[in-house]
Amino acid sequence: MPTPKIDLATKSDEANTSAVVLVWFAADADNKGASGPKYLGGRSKEIDELAHRLTSSHHFAGKKNELSVLRFYGFAGWPCVMLVGAGSSEKFSADVARQLGASVFKCQKKEKLESASVRIDSLLAGVPPQEQPYYLQAFCEGYWLASYEYVFTKPASKEAFYPKKLDLLGAKNSPLKEVVDRGQAIAEAINFARSLGDKPPNILNPAGMATLVTQMAKGRKLKVTVLGQSQMEREKMGALLGVAQGSDFEPKLIQIEYRGGKKGDKPVALLGKGVTFDSGGISIKPAAGMDDMKFDMMGAGTVAGVMQAIADLEIPLNVTGFIGAVENMPSGKAQRPADVVVSSSGKTIEITNTDAEGRLVLADVITYAQKQKPQAMIDVATLTGAVIVALGNAATGIMGNSAALISRIKTAASYTGEKVWELPLFDEYEEDLKTPYADIRNAGNREAGSSKGGIFIKFFVDKSIPWVHCDIAGTANNKSDLNYNPPKGASGAMIRCLTHLLETWQPLQDQKK
């Protein structure tokens, strides 16, 4: 599957591609006298004539992601015009621009348009000048994100058509080249994470994940270290190893180091749950929908994607990613409900539900990461079905011990078009995780299930380290409400958000909430 190019072009390059792309906005709802779509870019005789025809024909209204292709229209030398609707100009945002980029790619593919040229003045005319670079970056991200297609075990048809390029008219000889490159780096990181999640679990087992992450790091300023079972046994990772013991696949702990900051500066630690398949173990899941449990490693996919992005963007910060890669299977050697394991922290855990396994993996990964004395920790995990009950597929649940870090993640999410929602870690929730048989049990009753998962993880976090937990169970896969996501498969949730957070990183003042 070829990756299409996005090039900067000038006015003199017009009519060198298969079609011109024009962005139109819907008529304002409160302007009763208006009819037809609005064009905010530069006016011309051809634009005025086209606007008149659209108004009189009621052919195209400019609704968000509305598309229409006028073949053989003969617009200013182009044989084809692609009309793209952006919706209300008052509600236009960077994420709408991202969706427009996806719409353009999909239209090119459907209409078999090898190349196209978008007039960026039609896209950016109503955007404040200081925000225009990011809107254009978002548009490019959407274009490349929409180009993602899973072809690992189902190669594309030889007859399949793929667009080759998109020109940005009016952008040449401007500082926007860096903007396009940034959009590509982020989109490629997300698509890499998607490619991990979409692979079948017999291929993306823990060793397979370690291999692919190691391959990703080659040629980048990333150092990967992989711990096997014997090394984890020496680290006394009883919680993680307990999850893995029912599987024939050996677990792996994957450490990815990026040193873009000053020597000696404490790193920010990213931790990912990498359960490459989650059957639930002895507490086995229902058969319906169990195939989606190959996506239970998308916390790890997010961490790997962020590490790729920050390396390609060369951000000036030290960051270390930690991935606990295991498979959770039932077998004669699998752990049982009522087992008690000893985590690498020395704290004991009663296993009351083997399907609450991700928090066990993270317990030992957190303890291992804390040996580096990070300045902050963020873990990402498809942790609970309860977060889907609470927030649906619209938002990632976040919780933690640092008000400052939570606030920054909210800001980064808003900027990058991701949605997050803070959930509480009330002391009352701790009562349900108490047990007479160990320091803590891994699952309580169903009430506030997502927060109780966070409470369990918090039990292993050093109180002096700012920490936030991101539960992406609802946003990690099958999130087709946004057209730049695949209709089915991994989404790459939180990569844009966390990459922006790390790019704009400042030392935290508060240590806990």
- Residues with catalytic roles: 285, 359
- Does residue 35 contact residue 195 with C-beta atoms inside 8 Å? no
What is d(CA 14, CA 116) in angstroms, rounded to the nearest whole number?
10
* Backbone angles phi and psi of 270, in degrees to 5: -110, 130
489: which DSSP letter?
S
Return the structure tokens found at 60: 């195209």
Q: Give the C-alpha separation, 127 to 169, whole Å.
A: 17
Give the integer Cα–Cα distance in Å for 147 and 192.
Answer: 12
Distance CA 69, CA 92 (A): 22
Q: Which amino acid is at 182?
A: R
Alpha-carbon distance of 323 to 480, in angstroms, equals 27
CB contact burial 92-116 (16+ within 10 A = b; e otherwise): bbbbbbbbbbbbbbbbbbebebebb
Using CA atoms, how far apart are residues 392 and 355, in angstroms rounded to an integer? 20
Alpha helices by DSSP H, listed for 30-83, are 45-57
3-class DSSP assignment, residue 327: strand
Q: E strand or H helix at 412, and its extent?
A: helix 403-416
236: alpha, beta or left, given left = phi > 0 and alpha = psi -120 to 50? left
Per DSSP, helices labelled H in 417-446 are none
Other C-beta atoms closer than 10 Å to the C-beta of 335 total 24
Q: How far is Cα 84 from Cα 107, in angstroms, rounded to an integer?
A: 9
The H-or-E segment that residue 468 falls in is strand 467-471
Q: Where are the beta strands (DSSP E) in 174-237?
A: 223-227
The DSSP output letter for 90 is G
Kindly state the tokens that stand for 497. 């958000």
Phi and psi, residue 442, nearest 5°: -85, -10
Q: Which residues pair with 467 in a beta bridge?
A: 377
- Coil, strand or helix: which one is 331? coil
